[in-house]
A and B are shown apart, each in its own frame.
Chain A
Amino acid sequence: MSPATAPPGHRDEVRLLEVDPRRGSVFDHPFRDLPELLEPGDLLVVNDAATLPASLRGELERGGPRSPVELRLLGPAEGSRWRAVLFGSGDWQLDTDLRPPPPRVEIGDAIELRGGLVARIDGRPGPGDRLVELSFDREGPELWAGLYAAGRPVQYSHLREALELWSVQTVFAGRPWAVEMPSAGRPLTWSLIRRLRRRGVELARLTHAAGLSATGEPELDAALPLPERYSIPAATVAAIEASRARGGRIIAVGTTVVRALESAALEGGGRPRAGAGWAKLIITGERELELVDGLLTGMHDPSESHYRLLQAFAPARVLEAAWSAALEAGYRSHEFGDTALILPGRQPTPGWTTASRSRGAAGGETRPR
């Protein structure tokens, strides 16, 4: 699938592949059809993390000549430490897998970043050589000011131009926890959210520190996604329980939401627990999901780690058929590309049929909330 090479003119100008994993059916829609594809009582859960400018260019100071490096932050670790992945010379315009490896670093080495911010290597926890723990020469608001002054959005070589920070935010972004945009929520506009609410579809949020999707180091890539922090408000847990009680479906907007909710459900013994935690689950087709019924996602290529997660929502043969239909229809992948809704149809109930639903007709409107 070829990638979208720039943000669309308007955020909702992407396509939506409707996949019913039970029936194996696939339909092509404009993204704006989303409200009609959901039912009153369904609950969409979004990741409201804002995206940090997590790519920091700098120079490694080690005796002789300084070497250019790039740090891509993963987020805060214990204490005042941060985790990051070290890249060598070059920038996002080079294919991540083809970039020169970073120079070898030792604990205690300093990297001077743009604007004078200094990061010192505190640890190399592995896997691989590029994952590092850092401490900065400042903390608190001064550190945030330094990061926002020096950083750029993380991006990859499929894009044509350097991104601005506003291009990698959702309309409901709050705390800047994500180092790559939680992109499945990007096409959601307020017009669409109002239509969803009018239809009786509810919206809830959590915050999940979406991490890097590629590092260029096979050993580290194989370990992705690394543990990522999340926080689930009590109101979201209540909304999930209310939705389940009325027979609604829980639909995650993005793979990060699946990880956060399923990790929280695991912690809570099947019931999601409100509060903060670390999402450690790697979700694949082997895993029976506790909580999440459906997924609104970007089009992930079968080579990406995110694709394994999709198999928890649909059998491999259904996904393969859906993806080849999308390919044929010219769907585009990656963060600014097209989307898929993988959602089992709700069991028909009296007074309402699947046929009336699929046309977004009045059948759904008359149902009680």
Chain B
Amino acid sequence: MSTRTPSQSRPRPSSPLRTALITGASRGLGLGLARSLALEHGMKVALVARTRAPLEAAVAEIESAGGEALAIVADVADKRAIHAIVGQAAASLGDIDLLVNNASSLGPTPLRPLLDNECEDFGAVLETNLLGPFRLTKAVLGSMVLRGRGVVVQISSDAALEAYPEWGLYGSSKAALDHLTRIWAAELEDSAVGIFAVDPGEMNTRMHAEAIPEADPESLADPRQVARKIAAMIQAAQTGVLGKTRLVAGEWPEPAAQGQVA
């Protein structure tokens, strides 16, 4: 039997995104996204990270600026944590409309050639960068499809495309995540749910400093600015403007002034 679906226009989502689940959200791009989605787009946000103190500080910061935020201490690489993460978020915020798989691991630093990486290190990177996002997506996507509303965003990297020496574990995990996302997008073609991977570009974050300590922070993008662009992309994906392709944050136009993002 053919698996092709009858061609039809993409169903329009019924209403705006109201709730978000963001992993790796206590700093860098994840925190920037949580802040932008909560404060500029009025979404209720659940922030996931492994370490309690910085996570709670991030939530407190968003709340003191008038946003609604919630802290979930968990490791996305732990498969037993997945339904607990999604359940805690949905219990407090309601059905999850947006998932941002942002938490990532570089593997051992300083970065090293593939021959110097242990197999176990690769396994751990895949758990965080590929299987964790797969499990979390699987845990929220069905409800999104049934409700006819939702967006899933995978934070990727140009290391998924370019063969940078010493970036083997991270780069191959992100390449696999990109392809997983393309296949998911093809399977969601007749649904109202959007899924895309985005390359945020080089940002002034702790992860970047761990990977390339010698880089000049002045030459790197501010993760808060990149977050605002990705938040605008999410809105576009939700209203059907955006296809489900791989995107580069740097190529996206600057979002309109605060609060005016379509």
Contact = CB atoms under 8 A, between A and B. Distances in A.
Interface of A: 46, 48, 50, 52-53, 140-141, 144-145, 148-149, 164-166, 169-176, 190, 194, 198, 203, 205, 235
9 contacts: A48-B146, A148-B84, A148-B87, A165-B87, A173-B142, A175-B95, A190-B142, A194-B5, A205-B147
B90 A174 contact: yes
B88 interface: yes
Contacts of A175: 90-91, 94-95
B70 interface: yes
Contact of A140 (B80, B86, B92, B146): B92
B143 A165 contact: no
A257 to B, nearest CB: 14
B145 interface: yes
Contact of B142 (A144, A171, A198): A171
Contacts of B139: 169, 173
B88 A174 contact: no
B77 interface: no
A154 to B, nearest CB: 15
Nearest to B73: A145
A144 B6 contact: no
B146 A203 contact: yes
A52 B87 contact: yes
Residue with the greatest number of chain A CB neighbours at <10 A, chosen from B72, B86, B87, B146:
B87
A12 B88 CA distance: 28
Interface of B: 5-6, 14, 70-73, 80, 82-84, 86-88, 90-92, 94-96, 139, 142-143, 145-148
A53 B82 CA distance: 13
A198 B92 CA distance: 35
Contact of A144 (B80, B91, B96): B91
A175 B86 CA distance: 9
A169 B141 CA distance: 13
Given A165-B83, A194-B5, A148 B143 contact: no
B71 A141 contact: yes
B151 to A, nearest CB: 16
Contacts of B143: 48, 172-174
A176 B80 contact: no
B88 A148 contact: yes
A292 to B, nearest CB: 19
A242 B148 CA distance: 18
Given A141-B72, A165-B84, A172-B142, 5 more contacts: A141-B71, A148-B88, A164-B80, A172-B146, A175-B94
Contacts, number: 67
A190 B141 CA distance: 11
B2 to A, nearest CB: 10
Contacts of B83: 50, 165-166, 169
Contacts of A203: 146
Contacts of B5: 194, 198
B80 to A, nearest CB: 7
A360 to B, nearest CB: 12
A233 B94 CA distance: 13
Contacts of B142: 170-173, 190
B82 to A, nearest CB: 7
Nearest to A194: B5
Contacts of A141: 70-72, 88, 92
A46 B142 CA distance: 12
A141 to B, nearest CB: 5
A50 B88 contact: no
Nearest to B85: A148
B146 A144 contact: no
Given A172-B143, A173-B142, A145 B95 contact: no
Contacts of A198: 5-6
A190 B138 CA distance: 11
Residue with the greatest number of chain A CB neighbours at <10 A, chosen from B14, B71, B80, B84:
B84
Contacts of A190: 142, 145
Contacts of A165: 80, 83-84, 87
A176 B96 CA distance: 12
B24 to A, nearest CB: 18
A169 B139 CA distance: 9
B81 to A, nearest CB: 9
A145 B88 contact: yes
B5 to A, nearest CB: 7
Contact of A235 (B14, B80, B94): B14
A172 B145 contact: yes
A53 B73 CA distance: 17
Contacts of B72: 141, 145
Contact of A176 (B70, B90, B148): B90
Contacts of A235: 14, 148
B20 to A, nearest CB: 15
A205 B146 CA distance: 8
Contacts of B80: 164-165
A203 B147 CA distance: 10
A140 B92 CA distance: 7
A166 B85 CA distance: 12
